[in-house]
């Protein structure tokens, strides 16, 4: 092997429990991908190239310089790969919301394996399964034995499974943040271990909409609004926007499109629980005159306007929340 090739940083990419958008985001860095191809050696990227697990198993420990791992840990196979790639990598990057906080797959923590399988394979109007067959880790057929990974009751983030060196947030991570991270790797300018490779500010700090101390008395969803003012804070218009509780770095692109922030950047710095912080922020702007005189029914009616509280406040971060799952016996 030539010195030039030996000195190239060695990269790996892996896709666990996620939608695949993070894999596309890597390609969305446009011509910068050529820098990766020219200046790095990709040792493992199953979605794009033909690699086998045995290729990674045969590597020496810490042989990979940087591994970008996207997706939550949902199955035994994903847990095995997380531990294997941790062992073989000098630096492990939790890439995207699912790896960092559990992401949308993490909302499954309101159920368990039994309920999920019943919904997906049995109690479903589009599924014909009279024998009520569900996936098994091992099945005997005439040709031999077929195996599947174990499907866990609980979805976990990457750092609930192995030690993580860096976090690159977003669903998927914004192109600018990916380029900054890759540039820092090539220039050997990565910050200290444990760092989030994104700004220390909230989405609100990046949003150009006008913000005042005005109180709101109603909560609405986007489709219920006839006219959304593109210059005024969405929260002040009664639309739940997680900007105050979400780390920035995205440039507030959703807000520019008249859509509220849903929290994919994860919690703001020094925030223990993104959902709890957003609930607190929402409570501070709901101004109800004579609220002490409201009946219990009126209070409940207002609360009912928050459709799907878990999906609203913990859309991307239930597995890493203080209360991270519903207990199922």
State the average pLDDT over residues 213-235: 88
- Write down the pTM of the prediction: 0.91
Cβ 247 vs Cβ 199: under 8 Å: yes
Mean pLDDT of the chain: 91
Number of other residues whose CB lies within 10 A of the CB of residue 259: 14
In order of their start, the domains of the chain are: 3-104+155-196 (3.40.50.700), 112-152 (no CATH), 203-320 (no CATH)
Write the pLDDT tens digit of every residue in 156-180.
Answer: 999 999 999 999 999 999 999 999 9
State the average pLDDT over residues 296-310: 84
Look at residue 2 in the predicted model and tell me its pLDDT.
44
Of residues 221 and 5, which shows the higher confidence score?
221
DSSP annotation of 192 reads S
State the average pLDDT over residues 93-100: 98
Categorize the per-residue pLDDT at 287 as very low, low, confident or very high, splitting at 50, 70 and 90: low
C-alpha–C-alpha distance, residues 110 and 264, integer Å: 19
Cβ 285 vs Cβ 265: under 8 Å: no
pLDDT at 291 > cutoff 70: no
pLDDT at 286 > cutoff 80: no
- Tokens for 232, please give them: 């005024």
């Amino acid at each position: 092997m030539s010195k030039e090739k030996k000195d190239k940083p060695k990269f790996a990419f892996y896709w666990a429990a996620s939608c695949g958008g993070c894999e596309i985001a890597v390609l969305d860095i446009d011509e910068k991908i050529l820098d990766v191809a020219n200046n790095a050696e990709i040792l493992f990227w199953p979605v794009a190239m033909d690699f086998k697990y045995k290729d990674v198993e045969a590597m020496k420990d810490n042989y990979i310089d940087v591994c970008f791992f996207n997706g939550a840990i949902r199955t035994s196979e994903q847990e095995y790969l997380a531990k294997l790639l941790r062992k073989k990598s000098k630096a492990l990057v939790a890439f995207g919301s699912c790896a960092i906080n559990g992401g949308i797959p993490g909302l499954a923590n309101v159920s368990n394996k039994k309920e999920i399988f019943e919904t997906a394979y049995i109690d479903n109007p589009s599924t014909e399964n009279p024998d009520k067959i569900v996936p098994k880790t091992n099945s005997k057929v005439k040709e031999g034995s077929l195996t599947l990974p174990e499907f866990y009751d609980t979805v976990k983030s990457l750092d609930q499974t192995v030690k993580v060196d860096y976090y690159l947030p977003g669903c998927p991570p914004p192109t600018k943040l990916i380029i900054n991270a890759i540039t820092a790797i090539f220039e050997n300018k990565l910050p200290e271990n444990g760092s989030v490779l994104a700004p220390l500010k909230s989405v609100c700090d990046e949003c150009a909409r006008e913000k005042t101390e005005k109180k709101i008395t109603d909560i609405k969803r986007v489709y219920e609004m006839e006219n959304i003012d593109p210059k005024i804070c969405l929260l002040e218009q009664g639309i739940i926007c997680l900007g105050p509780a979400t780390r920035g770095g995205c440039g507030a692109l959703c807000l520019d499109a008249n859509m509220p922030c849903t929290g994919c950047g994860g919690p703001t710095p020094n925030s223990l629980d993104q959902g709890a912080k957003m609930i607190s922020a929402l409570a501070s702007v709901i101004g109800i005159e004579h609220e002490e005189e409201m009946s219990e029914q009126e209070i409940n009616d207002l609360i009912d306007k928050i459709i799907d509280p878990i999906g609203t406040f913990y859309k991307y971060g239930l597995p890493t929340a203080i209360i991270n799952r519903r207990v199922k016996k």
